[in-house]
Every structure is written in C-alpha cells, then in structure tokens.
C-alpha cells in the first residue's frame, strides 16, 4: 500500500528532462524504502525545531545524507503557521518538566510571547524540541519502514496465491 503509492509516482518525461538539465542526482528523488523513510525523518525532525528556514535546512542537509528531498520538504510543513504556537508551547512545557524549571504561563498565546520571553524559555524550549523531534520523527521512520515491508510481504503473499490458483 505505502510502497505502491510511491512506486506509482515514479517519473515522467518532463521530470526526466528537468533532472538532466539541472544535473540533479537521482538519489534525491528515489522512492526506495530507505530514502522515503529518511526523507520523512529529516523533514519531521526539522519541522519541530523553532527556527526560521526549515526548507533551507533540508536543502543544507542534502550533501550529507541521501534521502528523498521532495518528501522531506513536504514533511517540514507538518509544523505550519497554524500549528506552530501550540507545538512550540508544548515543547516548552515538556522541556520545563524535564529540567524541573518554573513554567511561565502566557497571558495570551502568540509568537510575540515566545520572542519576548526567549531568554527565560530558550533552554526548556530546545530541550522539549530535542525530545519531540527525535521521538516523533523516529516513530514515523519506523512506521514507514514497517508499513513498507508489510506492503511488500502482502504483495508477495498475494502473488503466491494467484500463482497457485
């Protein structure tokens, strides 16, 4: 199921011409299990980091790892302007609990509160960020691997049944 979805989205003649024109390595567009899982891991990991330039961060990681770049760029948008404040506040509260620090309750929840209190919340915010980035991106990495392998086994089993009949 997961595997078939990505295999159907292989390539087209337009995409092939763009790849040749700009000399893009095929590994960055590969839909293998490992590249897709790494792309999701990197994208979600970066999505939970409270810093600007998430998409640029994915591009900056390209020379250091082989992963599906379009999927990583898409996964970065898990954290968007609508979900940003609640996610960062949850990361801050979790980091405060880990560090046993006093939680500063906001009078009104918005991005300006984070910037106004950045000196007080920086350490707990990034402690919570590290926890959620690793936990959630690892969960999705292993989930994609599991679903992909299950899809392959199911397809092979179905092919064996078809051959027997």
pLDDT per residue as tens digits for the range 83-126: 888 999 999 999 999 999 998 888 777 778 878 888 989 999 99
CA 47 to chain centre: 6
Give pLDDT, residue 95: 96
Q: Are 133 and 45 in contact (CB under 8 A)?
A: yes
Q: Phi, psi at residue 102, to the nearest 5°? A: -70, 135
Give pLDDT, residue 48: 95
Which two structure tokens, joined as six digits, stand for 4?
Answer: 């078939």
Residue 18, pLDDT above cutoff 80: no
Q: What is the pTM of this model?
A: 0.84
User: Would you say how long the chain is, in residues?
Assistant: 165
Spatial separation of the C-alpha atoms in residues 121 and 123, rounded to whole Å: 6
Give pLDDT, residue 148: 92
If one counts every other C-beta atom within 10 angstroms of the C-beta of residue 152, the result is 14
Which two structure tokens, joined as six digits, stand for 135?
Answer: 């936990």
pLDDT tens-digit profile of 5-16? 666 655 567 767
pLDDT tens-digit profile of 29-69? 888 899 999 999 999 999 999 988 999 999 999 989 999 99
Give pLDDT, residue 91: 95
Residue 27, pLDDT above cutoff 70: yes
DSSP 62-100: GGG----HHHHHHHGGGS-TTTHHHHHHHHHHHHHHHHT
Spatial separation of the C-alpha atoms in residues 71 and 151, rounded to whole Å: 19
Q: Are 148 and 33 in contact (CB under 8 A)?
A: yes
Q: Between 145 and 30, whose confidence is greater?
A: 145
């Amino acid at each position: 199921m997961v595997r078939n979805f990505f295999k159907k989205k292989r390539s087209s003649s337009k995409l092939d011409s763009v790849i040749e024109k700009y000399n893009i390595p095929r590994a960055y567009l590969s839909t293998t299990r490992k590249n897709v899982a790494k792309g999701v891991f990197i994208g979600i990991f970066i999505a939970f980091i409270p810093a600007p330039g998430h998409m640029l961060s994915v591009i900056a990681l390209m020379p250091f790892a082989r992963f599906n770049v379009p999927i990583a760029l898409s996964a970065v948008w898990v954290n968007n302007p609508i979900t940003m404040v609640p996610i960062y506040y949850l990361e801050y509260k979790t980091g405060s609990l880990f560090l046993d620090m006093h939680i500063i309750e906001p009078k009104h929840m918005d991005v300006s509160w984070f910037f106004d209190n950045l000196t007080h919340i920086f350490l707990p915010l990034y402690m919570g960020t590290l926890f959620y980035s690793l936990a959630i991106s690892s969960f999705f990495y292993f989930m994609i691997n599991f679903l992909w392998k299950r899809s392959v086994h199911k397809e092979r089993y179905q092919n064996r049944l078809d051959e027997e009949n």
